[in-house]
A and B are shown apart, each in its own frame.
Chain A
């Protein structure tokens, strides 16, 4: 019996058994998705088909400076050359990095909140889901996916959840979180949370620098570089959305709802938990819906995917401490592949293996995700 089997320490990635990527991107091309637009939205399909600049005139993506190496992988624009437009390429990529299963997220459609026309947004989200099911999910075991919904129309988002939630390959709901205005704690989204809770599907919130302007207009206007924009927009986005969900009582209304915050690293979480607990105790007249500390709702219902951990190799024990403060049972490995700021499994494993027991390490590398997503 290896040490891993005893629940003791885990020495190598090979001891783990399974690695699950909770933020595994496809890089969908708009041209791939358009044929999947439903007939009831054929007018949208036609108009987008005719558009000279759909990334700016349907999606309204903009950056302070070009997104440099982040676009070489089809990150934002879904270029023809994007490497994971196809299932085989995704599976090869996972094999290269020793990842057993992936929970698929979009790339271009992380900018769904920049689609100012709500009908277009719904048409594109639904088409993406049908495309993903057809092109990636059907007929294999290693890939599952998050079901994308358009927050612009919560009523139709709930309908889309009802349409596809019974497909086993959809294991969660994806809400693009940058440009989600009003923020996630607003009651307009309750139909989405209700549908997700009813079907037992966690909601994954994923930000994107492609939507910074739609969320933080002043910051975006005065950021002089893409680097500034990208560094801040992910954690800012998640902090705003999580704060509003906690303070406005989303988890009181939907106690069975689980949510996942992606692509923002880990170390902001203990900071925010401390800060929100403190404000809750001091400004409680503002927050009469809550019955316990905000951090207690987090511990029970909120999960965080690890990538990008940041440049922590010089002080690995501090990363482990940040995870300890966040709550190891709420932390799940994510690669973000194929995006150019990806973390291979070692990036997390090397920080946590010396610091936690085997069961906890296996949980973060895949076990917790398996439980949450029913894998």
Chain B
């Protein structure tokens, strides 16, 4: 059974890259605005229980067979401040391995307020 919880006003999450962390039914949850959309993740690193969502938002580095090493500046990755594990804010998935995913939650906006379902 999930309930809807107000976590912020839309104004607080208006800017790209903004975030609000609040407690939702006993779990710290972060809401980010990334690529214009709102996404909610547990503020919990599945590695060693660090405060994942207090880490920086970053872009991502990729390498190709031709030897290129590119940086995608779109800041849609959150990097845990403890050990640097990286997760895609849009999916909660680890960038490095399909073994790990951060819990994500549905986000809704209604009458200028942001709600997380948990």
Chain B residues closer than 8 Å to A292, beta-carbon distance: 96-98
Chain A residues closer than 8 Å to B99, beta-carbon distance: 293
Q: What is the total of A-B residue contacts with beta carbons within 8 Å?
A: 31
Closest CB-CB distance, B91 to chain A, in whole Å? 16
Of residues 64 through 110 on chain B, the ones whose CB sits less than 8 Å from some CB of chain A are 65, 69, 83-86, 94-99
Is B35's beta carbon under 8 Å from chain A? Answer: no
Is B47's beta carbon under 8 Å from chain A? Answer: yes
Known A-B contacts A288-B61, A288-B62; A293 and B84 likewise in contact (beta carbons under 8 Å): no
Is B63's beta carbon under 8 Å from chain A? Answer: yes
Task: Verify B86–A284 contact, CB threshold 8 A.
Answer: yes
The majority secondary structure among interface residues of chain B is loop
Number of residues on chain A facing chain B (CB within 8 A): 13
Number of residues on chain B facing chain A (CB within 8 A): 16
Instruction: Report the Cα distance A292→B63, complex, angstroms.
Output: 14
Task: Verify A282–B85 contact, CB threshold 8 A.
Answer: yes
Of residues 34 through 66 on chain B, the ones whose CB sits less than 8 Å from some CB of chain A are 47, 61-63, 65
Q: Which of these, A249, A285, A288, A293, contacts B97 with CB under 8 Å?
A: A293
Closest CB-CB distance, A329 to chain B, in whole Å? 20
Chain B residues closer than 8 Å to A1, beta-carbon distance: none
Chain A residues closer than 8 Å to B85, beta-carbon distance: 281-282
Instruction: Report the Cα distance A303→B61, complex, angstroms.
Output: 31
Chain A residues closer than 8 Å to B47, beta-carbon distance: 281
Nearest-neighbor residue (CB-CB) of A285 within chain B: B61
Q: Which of these, B61, B65, B97, B98, contacts A281 with CB under 8 Å?
A: B97
Is A289's beta carbon under 8 Å from chain B? Answer: yes
Instruction: Report the Cα distance A282→B86, complex, angstroms.
Output: 8
Task: Verify B63–A293 contact, CB threshold 8 A.
Answer: no
Closest CB-CB distance, A84 to chain B, in whole Å? 44
Chain A residues with a Cβ under 8 A of chain B = 249, 253, 280-285, 288-290, 292-293
Chain B residues with a Cβ under 8 A of chain A = 47, 61-63, 65, 69, 83-86, 94-99
- Closest 5 CB pairs between A and B? A288-B63, A282-B84, A282-B83, A289-B63, A288-B61
7 A–B contacts from the bound complex (CB under 8 Å): A280-B96, A281-B97, A282-B83, A282-B84, A288-B61, A288-B69, A292-B97
